[in-house]
């Protein structure tokens, strides 16, 4: 049995044939999200509203685990988690980003670097979306150069005192907890679980975004923010530990790019099959068929990339450079597909009701976050040449 939910016109090579029962079930649960999101997501995106009721649905559908093993929840493989993330992003990239932030970054930080007590206290509630989580690494002056972070953590008796700023932090001003990464007095980096209601923590929603408008990102200020010593993540002893979390998340972004690209391609294909110009359907035009074929070639390579890196991740054989290659390739390809699809719809391609414009804008954020195009290229370049083009 195939389990592939895509028609052959989308998954041309049958890349997602022959899935396990578990992976297919996770994909199917994620596909149910559309009945909640489709009627309202354009309204929320246009108004820059964060629809927390839709976030709650992600927990109810049990797709907020990103392959982590959490008691009471189905354990998905990396492939199964990727398929679910792809499907949610196919509906809306803002909601896909919620999973990437909540499960891929915040929950994974606690799962990989936290104590057993921290895992038991936070992960079940986060998987159910009863508790929101944010990942506080990026700073106003340190985006791609995240290893140079300046936020500090100083021990004072039974407390840690945090000072500094973070920027572009998804859900960082929406209630819940934020995993703050800060530099210790010895120069090493550690992570801390910070409830957002803690005195000294101020999260301000960033306004004026042209991308991912249905999730709020925050500018966070930490001013003598005191947290219990027990809130430190004991497994985070250097930036290398943070990098392990980021490697897994780059695989997720490659799946998200695929989800948005599929949404754009399928919308364009359906449009040209129905649209009549110069006395015949646009789909009968040679140039349209060639453009669709080019889009399918990109989609096929994106699917193959996602499946390969996910299987390597499950086998413990995925390198950081391979994760970078997947993210770099798929976000570039998604940009090409989104631009072509927008053009194929002509003037109506800019209308939110046709979805492509929303995905087109959102892909721009994917192309940048979790490591820019240039940074991913340099990570690959270092592996290829043996020379680092950055310190």
The token duo for 149 is 């972070």
Phi/psi at 200 (5° precision): 95, -10
C-alpha span between 130 and 197 (Å, rounded): 16
Task: Tell me, yes or no, if 370 is annotated catalytic.
Answer: yes
Q: CB-side exposure of 303: number of CA atoms within 13 Å?
A: 19
R_g (Cα) of the chain, nearest Å: 21
Transcribe 52-109 into DSSP letters: HHHHHHHHHTT--STT---TTSPPPPHHHHHHHHHHHHHH-HHHHHHHIIIIIIIIHH
Compute φ and ψ for 212, nearest 5 degrees: 50, 50
SS3 state of residue 117: helix
Which residues have CB under 8 Å from 150's CB, separation 6+? 139, 141, 142, 164, 183
- Residue 69: other Cβ atoms inside 10 A: 12
Catalytic site residue from 139, 165, 266, 370:
370
Helices (H), the chain: 21-31, 34-37, 41-47, 52-60, 78-91, 93-99, 108-113, 116-127, 239-274, 286-314, 320-344, 356-368, 373-385
Question: Beta strand 280-281 with 152-156: parallel, antiparallel or unpaired?
Answer: unpaired
Q: How far is CA 84 from the centre of its chain?
A: 12
What are the backbone angles phi and psi of residue 170, rounded to the nearest 5°? -60, 130
The full 3-state SS of 310-337, as one line of letters, equals HHHHHCCCCCHHHHHHHHHHHHHHHHHH
CB 329 within 8 A of CB 256: no
| 8 Å CB contact between 329 and 367 | no
Residues noted as catalytic: 370
């Amino acid at each position: 049995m195939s389990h592939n939910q895509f028609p052959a016109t989308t998954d041309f090579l049958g890349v997602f044939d022959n899935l396990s029962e578990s992976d297919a079930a996770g994909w199917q649960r994620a596909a149910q999200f559309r009945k909640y999101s489709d009627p309202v997501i354009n309204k929320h995106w246009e108004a820059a509203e964060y629809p927390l009721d839709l976030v709650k649905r992600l927990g109810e559908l049990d797709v907020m685990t990103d392959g982590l093993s959490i008691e009471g929840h189905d354990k998905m493989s990396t492939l199964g988690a990727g398929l679910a993330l792809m499907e949610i992003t196919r509906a809306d990239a803002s909601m896909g980003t919620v999973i990437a932030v909540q499960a891929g970054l915040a929950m994974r930080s606690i799962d990989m670097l936290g104590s057993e007590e921290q895992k038991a206290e936070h992960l079940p509630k986060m998987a159910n979306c009863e508790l929101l989580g944010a990942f506080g690494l990026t700073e106003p002056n340190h985006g791609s150069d995240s290893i140079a972070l300046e936020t500090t953590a100083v021990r004072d008796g039974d407390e840690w005192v945090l000072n500094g700023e973070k920027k572009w932090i998804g859900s960082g001003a929406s209630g819940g907890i934020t995993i703050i990464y800060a530099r210790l007095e010895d120069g090493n980096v550690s992570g801390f679980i910070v409830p957002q209601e803690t005195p000294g923590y101020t999260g301000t929603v960033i306004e004026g975004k042209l991308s991912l408008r249905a999730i709020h990102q925050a500018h966070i200020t930490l001013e003598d923010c005191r947290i219990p010593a027990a809130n430190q993540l004991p497994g985070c002893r250097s930036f290398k530990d943070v990098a392990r979390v980021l490697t897994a998340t780059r695989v997720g972004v490659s799946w998200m790019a695929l989800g948005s690209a599929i949404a754009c391609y399928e919308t364009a294909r359906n449009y040209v099959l129905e649209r009549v110009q110069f006395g015949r359907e646009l789909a009968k035009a040679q140039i349209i068929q060639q453009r669709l074929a080019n889009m399918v070639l990109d989609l096929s390579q994106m699917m193959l990339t996602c499946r390969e890196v996910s299987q390597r991740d499950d086998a413990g054989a995925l390198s950081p450079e391979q994760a970078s290659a997947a993210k770099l390739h798929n976000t570039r390809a998604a940009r090409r597909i989104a631009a072509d699809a927008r053009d194929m719809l002509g003037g109506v391609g800019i209308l939110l009701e046709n979805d492509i414009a929303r995905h087109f804008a959102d892909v721009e954020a994917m192309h940048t976050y979790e490591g820019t195009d240039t940074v991913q290229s340099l990570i690959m370049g270092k592996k290829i040449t043996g020379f680092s083009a950055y310190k």
